[in-house]
Amino acid sequence: MADRQKLVYDWNLIGESEPLTDKRVLLDDETLRDGLQSPTVSDPAIEDKIQLLHLMEELGIQMLDIGLPGAGPRAYADTLAPNCAARTAIQDIEPIWDIADKTGVTIDAATFLGSSMIRQYVENWTMDDLLRKTEEAVTYGIKRGLPVMYVTEDTTRAFPETIKRLYTTAINCGARHIVLTDTVGHATPAGVRALVRFVVDEVVRPSGEEILISWHGHNDRGLSVINSLAAVQAGADVIHGCALGIGERVGNTPMDQVLVNLKLIGAIDQDLIKLKDYCEVASRACRVVIPPGYPVFGSDAFRTATGVHAAAVIKAFRKGETELANTVYSGVPSHLFGLEQIIDIGPMSGRSNVIFWLEKRGIQPAEDRVTAIYEKAKKSDRLLMTEEVLEAIDVSSLHEKPNVI
């Protein structure tokens, strides 16, 4: 491809005071725990869970949360990996220790506790209750030899002093990984940056300990991906997410979209060709449909039938530059994810769409054929299906054998 710097002026880099490209970003996949809280998804069979685990590893995802074993026998039986969720209660932490003991695998106990005043009011909790629960749970986990990941729920709506006291107590009791959560998808990027910086300045640095900071977001306001990037910019080390953004209400941060964006800004360099497989396995196993317009992996993500758009893509292909063709009318280069641009034919198409479509399938774009298809498309109220295109030119008369896709 021609020099990108001469073809694209990237306004995304203008005024960006805290780039991510120099920071190592870790990922924690919660598809098989938080993701399964969605009311409409199915709990995958253990074989599907194992397949997803292998795909997560191939995609360079470093951490996995695959269960809350205290939730019941099925969750207990399917829990086989590095971190498990638990309420700040000994009865939830005990099954994690039991699994770690039986498997010989070190499993982090992700102990969570509501922190916002609205939750305290509803539950009739006092600050002393929260501090006591924190101290008991973290101390118990550490004594059992479990690394403790301490999570405050609804952090984005909690008061600063509450956040400071809870995390400081958890760290003093031995927790070395803390998680800030946007449990109801309340935060904006500005709020995320303010919260993370507060925790860094008021909790982590004064502790003198090496503490991992995770960001766990939800998508109620449609801001989960940009909030995750803002968290890392402000000092977070780990982004949590779920395949296809599945999860309670409108879902968690989509792990696949996070990976795409980290790849495009140069914050990660791993091969993401298997990301399509990851999404498709999650879709099948959890019985959740990928919408056609879903970013990158929806069926329409790299598909166009609009004449002007298709013409530009086709001209790039004619130059023999696939990367250029994948960029000229797309903010996401499809080849990075094992995908390609698709040119279809419909009422908004030009003749170049028709010619390209025929050539792609090994059919000579004779003038009469092009005209027949073009005229049929203009009379249609939708894109033509393959069968309809071939009917327009009477495929039985073709000398070529079409490569029907």
pTM of the prediction? 0.85
Q: In sequence order, what DSSP letters do the residues of 176-192 get, joined into one string? A: -EEEEEETTS---HHHH
Q: What is the CATH code for 7-286?
A: 3.20.20.70
Residues 31-48: tens digit of each pLDDT: 998 899 999 999 999 999
Backbone angles phi, psi at 84, to 5 degrees: -130, 145
**Mean pLDDT computed over 218-222:** 97
**Is residue 54 scored above 90 in pLDDT?**
yes
pLDDT at residue 327, as a whole number:
86
Q: What is the distance, to the nearest Å, from the Cα of residue 383 to the centroid of all Cα atoms in its chain?
A: 30
Q: Is the pLDDT at 252 greater than 50, yes or no?
A: yes
pLDDT higher than 60, residue 72:
no
Check pLDDT > 50 for residue 76: no
Give the Cα separation of 371 and 14 in Å (integer): 47
What's the whole-number average pLDDT of the chain? 87
Find the mean pLDDT for residues 10-37.
Answer: 80
Asked whether residue 5 carries a pLDDT value surpassing 50, the answer given is yes
pLDDT for 366 equals 92
Q: In sequence order, which ranges of 2-126 are alpha helices (DSSP H)?
A: 4-7, 46-58, 73-77, 90-103, 117-123
Poorest-pLDDT segment among 49-58, 90-99, 134-143 = 90-99
pLDDT tier at 393, thresholds 50, 70, 90 = confident
**Domain ranges (residues) in the chain:** 7-286, 303-397
296: left (phi over 0), alpha (psi -120 to 50) or beta: left
Where helices occur in 287-397 by DSSP H, the ranges are: 307-318, 322-325, 351-360, 367-379, 386-392
Own/partner long-range contacts of 103-109 (Cβ < 8 Å, ≥24 apart):
105/80, 105/81, 106/82, 106/147, 107/81, 107/82, 107/83, 107/146, 108/82, 108/83, 108/84, 108/146, 108/147, 108/148, 108/149, 108/177, 109/83, 109/84, 109/141, 109/146, 109/147, 109/148, 109/149
